Amino acid sequence: MFRPYSAGLRRLLGRPQPDFFARAVESWQEAPAATLRFYPALALPGQIDRIRQSVFASLPDTIEALTRDGEKTEGPTVAWRFRHVDLIDGVLFSNGAELHLRPRRRRFGLAGRPNRTISGALYETWVTNRWFGSWLMDELVTWPLAEGTGRPLRTGQPPKPGSHAARYLELAGATPGHVSGDVHFDELILFGDLANNADKARRQRELRARLVKGRELQPLPGVFLLRGNSGDPRVLSNERDLADRLATERGFRVIDPLIASVDEIVDACGAARMIVGVEGSQMVHGVAAAPAGAGIIPIQPPDRVAATLKQLSDRLDQRFGLVVAEGEGSAFSLDWSDLAGTLDLFE
């Protein structure tokens, strides 16, 4: 039976969807599990009490990741090999199981049988296709695993010339092939690279080294990365006031990533002592380029606290600060004393 229709029939009949990864013909470890030392975020008293909701993980797991103090074992990095997989409208189908990589463009997600057969290794996920920050902090770090197969592939069109993504690929030396349209994979390799283990930290540091290679970096007290109204709604009402005050009183450079080039951002952040801004994808620009020991302070909305940037800063041996704003929903504000006091914890 045509694989996508098999998966659709299961849904219509109310049958449970099978585990896609259980369809692999082979699996192996790309890197072992590792027991690592973690340090808690630096925070003023009462910051944890301000947290109402989290994203990307449960609230207890998010708080644990932010406050972890001691050793913890992170799982291995794994790979799976599949045979006879169809890629139809951004969804992988294998013997009745499906794995979504992108939102479907067609109403039913189906067309005729793929008329092309290829083999290769995909290193993307739904999350890295959904958020630019995830693409930069995770997908570019998984790229070397796919490159090691000799057949690195990515779905969709190449990034537009001159875009942030295109420049990061150039700096990283990443040159994947791109798969557009519906295809059949005679052989497909996928990776499970979420574990924050020692090998992922190594690859993260190697990416940073590529980003800053050949630059004459000038130390800065700090960089504030503006978020503004970009991306998912997350508006810090006094963002500009805080940025201006950091520039005036603390010598920070204020950068709008929507306007600045990748090179301008990396040049500023590559030797900065502090990276500050509203929690979100624009902060990954700074964290990925900042040196070991730099302070990372995302301003967290109380209804949307995340520990993803803490995981990234852990890989780079940076120090993380927790400051939670006050307000409701997607609009919030932060008192200057909370930000200044958190900055002082790093002295």
**pLDDT tens sequence across 235-261:** 899 999 999 999 999 999 999 999 999
Percent of the chain with pLDDT over 70: 92
Confidence at residue 110, expressed as pLDDT on a 0 to 100 scale: 53
Residue-wise pLDDT for 142-192, tens only, equals: 999 999 999 999 999 999 999 999 999 999 999 999 998 899 999 999 999
Check pLDDT > 80 for residue 107: no
At 13 the pLDDT is 45
Nearest to 276 by CA among 259, 258, 300: 300
What CATH class does 61-70+218-344 carry?
A: alpha beta
The rounded mean pLDDT for the chain is 93
- pLDDT for the residue numbered 112: 63
**What per-residue confidence (pLDDT) applies to 3?**
53
pLDDT per position as a tens digit, 22-55: 999 999 999 999 999 999 999 999 999 999 999 9
- When pLDDT is cut at 50, 70 and 90, the band that residue 12 belongs to is very low
**Has residue 8 got a pLDDT over 70?**
no
Give the strand pairing for 77-88 and 26-31.
antiparallel
With tokens 């940025």, the residue in question is: 243
pLDDT score of 10 more than 70: no
pLDDT band at 347 (very low <50, low <70, confident <90, very high): confident
Of 13-17, 212-216, 276-280, 336-340, minimum mean pLDDT range: 13-17
* Residues 255-271: tens digit of each pLDDT: 999 999 999 999 999 99
Residue 2, pLDDT > 80, answer no
pLDDT tier, 105 (very low <50, low <70, confident <90, very high otherwise): confident
Residue ranges per structural domain of the chain: 3-29+77-194, 61-70+218-344
Give yes or no for residue 113 having a pLDDT over 90: no
* 297 pLDDT higher than 60: yes
